[in-house]
């Protein structure tokens, strides 16, 4: 019979484990953000119709670290996330931020969650239904007791070139574009409303399911409503300026050009209030 022996440097069951993170650091350098990135987590998002949508989010959770501490406790970030279950909405992010501040003795805390968001859309003529996916991102940060948010959506759209239409005997080149809209808000703005604002600013919105009558309608709609990438960001910015609950915005548009091997890009950012 062989009796197992402990390694001389291994702690016994009764020996307190070393806490290296709480050791003193002498380099006098504060860290602005430290934590976990790219943490996949299943969530339920409440949509505008008050229906829970199941999706997978990528989380970044970070805090600041005072100069005197060697490290932070990474497990505590996951503990905070797990403690709130799977239903995530912008309204419960402040509680999570406060818990990060408390558990990690931090002045500032940050949460970013990015996830695919699906909307069922009807084709314009046949009313055939199909799901279209969008990218949504919530960013929340707390500095002391002050909490701020940014909500972002990335929306695919169709754009048709006004110059191509003007100079061509027939037809005009069009392409898929992507609009990224980030906003700060005075009141909650639904993801669906942000998407609708963007789609109304393009040559045409995107659908996942189109029959021939629908394709004809979408093609002709885009032809009747040509927009440069510059028009696209201006159209979105104008609607944001007119929205009573948007206090700041940044809108970017990128057209994946169909007759070039490069993309066209434009950006407008409002002045902070």
Residue 46 is part of a domain; what is its CATH number?
3.10.270.10
Residue 7 lies in a domain: no
Q: Kindly state the tokens that stand for 47.
A: 């949509």
pLDDT, mean of residues 17-26:
62
Residue ranges of E strands in the chain: 31-46, 52-65, 87-88, 108-122, 129-143, 146-160, 174-185, 204-205, 246-256, 263-269
Residue 143 lies in a domain: yes
Band (pLDDT 50/70/90 cuts) for residue 27 is confident
Q: Domain residues for 182?
A: 31-269
- For 85-100, the pLDDT digits (tens) are 777 667 788 999 999 9
CA nearest 189: which of 123, 230, 249, 109?
A: 249
Q: pLDDT averaged over the chain?
A: 89
pLDDT of residue 71: 66
pTM of the model: 0.86
Residue 26 lies in a domain: no
What b/e readout covers 27-46, taking b as 16+ CB neighbours within 10 angstroms? Answer: eeeebeebbbeeeeeebebe
Residue 48 lies in a domain: yes
Q: How many domains does the chain have?
A: 1
């Amino acid at each position: 019979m062989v009796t197992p022996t402990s390694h001389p440097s291994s702690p016994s069951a009764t020996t307190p484990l070393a806490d290296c993170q709480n050791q003193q650091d002498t380099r006098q350098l504060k860290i602005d953000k430290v934590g976990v990135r790219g943490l996949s987590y299943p969530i339920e998002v409440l949509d505008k119709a008050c229906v829970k949508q199941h999706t997978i989010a990528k989380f970044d959770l970070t805090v600041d670290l005072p100069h005197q501490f060697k490290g932070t406790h990474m497990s505590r970030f996951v503990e905070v996330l797990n403690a709130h279950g799977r239903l995530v909405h912008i309204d419960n992010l402040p509680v999570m931020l406060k818990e990060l501040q408390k558990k990690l003795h931090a002045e500032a805390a940050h949460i970013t969650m990015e996830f695919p968001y699906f909307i069922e859309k009807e084709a314009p003529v046949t009313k055939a239904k199909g799901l279209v996916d969008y990218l949504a991102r919530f960013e929340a940060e707390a500095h002391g007791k002050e909490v701020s948010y940014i909500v972002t959506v990335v929306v695919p759209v169709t754009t048709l070139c006004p110059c191509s239409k003007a100079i061509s005997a027939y037809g005009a080149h069009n392409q898929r574009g992507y609009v990224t809209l980030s906003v700060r808000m005075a009141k909650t703005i639904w993801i669906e409303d942000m998407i609708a604002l963007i789609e109304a600013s393009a040559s045409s919105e995107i659908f996942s399911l189109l029959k021939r009558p629908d394709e004809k309608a979408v093609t002709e709609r885009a032809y009747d409503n040509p927009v440069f990438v510059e028009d696209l960001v201006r159209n979105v910015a104008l609607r944001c300026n007119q929205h009573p609950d948007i206090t700041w915005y940044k809108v970017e548009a990128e057209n994946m050009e169909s007759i070039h091997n490069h993309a066209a890009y434009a950006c407008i950012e409002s002045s902070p209030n």
